[in-house]
Structure 1
Amino acid sequence: MIDSLPPLREVIRAHDLRAKKSFGQNFLLDLNLTARIARAAGDLRGADVFEVGPGPGGLTRGLLAEGARHVLAVEKDARCLPALAEIAAACPGRLRVIEGDALALDPLTHLTPPIKVVANLPYNVGTELLIRWMTPPQWPPFWQSLTLMFQREVAERIVARPGSKAYGRLALMVQWRAEARIVLTLPPEAFTPAPKVSSAVVHITALEAPRYPANAQVLERVVAAAFNQRRKMLRAALKGLAPGIEGHLEAVGIPPTARAEEIGLEAFCALARRLEGVQGQGGRIQEP
């Protein structure tokens, strides 16, 4: 049983698991906090869970204690495998640990839907993993929800609204296809070693379909061009995308003198649809 396992500090001492900067590791040792993160993912009974970077297994314990049907934990650091094996032995048949890179793994080959992703993501790959999970070839994705730890600054960018400094490509990419909210914030001292910044847990629930119709690739090009030069007016930032960009902006109700951070998701989608129409008539949407 999970309750019979030793405290995490003892596990770290026993296996000499000093956090390594090269793995982006900051261990969360308070099992009350890891349990709160597991609960933030919602009801885990009847769901498989994909965990990235479990380290010594604090969150892994929480996921199993909260009733996850099966947990797939992917860990790059071989030093952590014996500690994770102890958890697997305490929960026969419910935890599979794979040594490897989550960026190279297809969870569907190991898990059965519904699938929830829950992870204290290593800071060095967190944003890249989120982008991959938000931009699959087909939607809905393999996951039902994502409950992920990020640097607080990244978390605020995910949930940001128009008009704020944090608003940008990440907010639009996530909010186009999902509901996102910050459910927990953690100070640096909650971790070992303590990072230089605060952290936050974001809960993201996949929508059945995007909020507004748009071609994903065209929308991404429009948003990338707009925010790559966010200080410029949109008529200047987007001029390389298509001829007569001012007319296209005005046609969908966007003032050509507006800046990217002032424009909401619905308007960006309307512009993407219009520019896709231009492309369909023989025009070409340029790469930003």
Structure 2
Amino acid sequence: MKKAFFPGCLVLQRMPQYEKAARRVLRELDISLENMRRAACCGAPLESFTDRWLYLAAYNLSLAQRMELDILTLCGNCTNTLLRADRALSDPLLRLEVNERLHELGLHIEGQTLVQHIVEIVCHHLEILRGKVTKRLSLKVAVTHPCQAFRPHEVSGFDDSPQPQAMRRIVELTGAEVVPYEAEYDCCGSTLYLADEKLGLEAGRRKLDSASVADVLVGACGNCQLLLERFRGLMMADDRESRIPMLTLPQLVGLAMDIDPDELGIGPATAERLLRSSA
């Protein structure tokens, strides 16, 4: 199976380990990723002040259509933006207007484009994954869900929006114990942080504090991962040992596949700490 790969700006620029692990793990599931050359931002940062965000999202959708491939994403925000754009473009008049601009670039959009987050893709391959797990992990895992990949349900059509379970099912297949915690389904703070730094930090602090019952916090979104890592640094600058380690979902799955941590972008210190906890 081949997918058009749309990792998102944050992952491309700030989180190479997430992309590295995703490519490696998906290869084990017989899913190959083809880069969307000349892809642009999904359009989400523009949405708060212009309707033209839709043109940017449509541009990316049209690139995938030209490749004749469905889109696989690593970011909840990107997934949500592209899904909503695809839904909006079902309006013939709007699609005509957008295509007038796309034609200037030699592009065209017609019909719908399937956009799926990596969590959804892996969930559709659980039986294959089950056969690939050769090193069951004895870890206590706190999950932070890529909430925008599932909301609203009428757009995503996948999982339960208020309390998604897909990531829990994947993590449980690795042998790890999914630990419930008070702020599991709360916002990570990344979206709030853009509007109100203090409020965003408080949301991040609440999530990290309540997730500290686990050995590791596992996410699957560029926004969540980057902002929570930043919060960890700000809140625990003088106490590195007490910081809960963070992994992306494909990194955790890769460890359960007994893939070398270096191939998953996991540093030696983090790998040693987690494997020691899992022993």
Normalised to the residue count of structure 1, the TM-score between the two structures is: 0.30
Higher strand share: 1
Choose 1 or 2 for highest CA Rg.
1
Structure of higher RCO (CA pairs closer than 8 Å, 6+ residues apart): 2
Higher helix share: 2
